[in-house]
Amino acid sequence: MRQRGNEAMRFEARNDQGPRTRDDGRPDHLTNVIIQVAPRFRGEVDKGDLRRVAVEVLNQEGVEGETELSLIVTDDEAIRQLNRRFRGVDAPTDVLAFGAGAEEHFVTAPESPPYLGDVVISYQRALAQAQELGHPVAEELRLLAIHGILHLLGYDHEEEAAAQKMREREERLRSQVSGCDLRLVTCDLRPAT
């Protein structure tokens, strides 16, 4: 699933004070977010929006140094096949996360930044859930991206206490990201009062 090329972009993760820098003056956190969208959904998905959400989640979660991850937006059939192959569940789902640390098939060059993994989102599930919840599909895609990236960072929802912690973190990130002008990487992340 990992791919380089014209779909990859590097972003500086920034907060409202500007980019964090190291002693040598270079940015503290660079993220390569690779976005792949199934051809039939390309006109419906704002790749830049998803990249900015991914960078902001990593920034808010304190991920430092260079990192890479992929966000893939596909259809129900493709995600059903992945769900069956990797989880033994023969049904579509809204989002799957494949962390590189847990999988032996991720190979990177020694000088490459750490690869966090892949987040795969079903556009059809996102659309259905957005309609059910009464918000735009772009908002649902953001939420699913946040959910998947939190999984890559070690959050889980198998046990109730962990599920509650993950839900709370998702809501906080969602409100922080939703309060931003997502056309900009820089935004005010102070909690709403």
Structural element, H or E, at residue 73: strand 67-74
CB under 8 Å to 105, separation ≥6 — which residues?
none
Asked whether the beta carbons of 154 and 116 are under 8 A apart, the reply is no
Q: Say if residue 11's pLDDT is above 70.
A: no
Q: 25 versus 43: which is more confidently predicted?
A: 43
Tell me which CATH code domain 8-178 carries. 3.40.390.30
**Full-model pTM:** 0.74
Asked whether the beta carbons of 91 and 22 are under 8 A apart, the reply is no
By the 10 Å C-beta count (0-12 exposed, 13-18 middle, 19+ buried), 192 is classed as exposed
Task: Give the pLDDT of residue 41.
Answer: 97
Q: Where are the domains of the chain?
A: 8-178
- Span 150-169, average pLDDT: 85
Report residue 108's pLDDT band, with 50, 70 and 90 as the boundaries.
low
| C-alpha–C-alpha distance, residues 81 and 79, integer Å | 5
Mean pLDDT is highest, among 10-24, 49-63, 102-116, for 49-63
User: Could you say which DSSP state residue 31 is in?
Assistant: E
Task: Give the pLDDT of residue 167.
Answer: 85
**Minimum mean pLDDT range among 86-100, 107-121, 147-161, 178-192:** 178-192
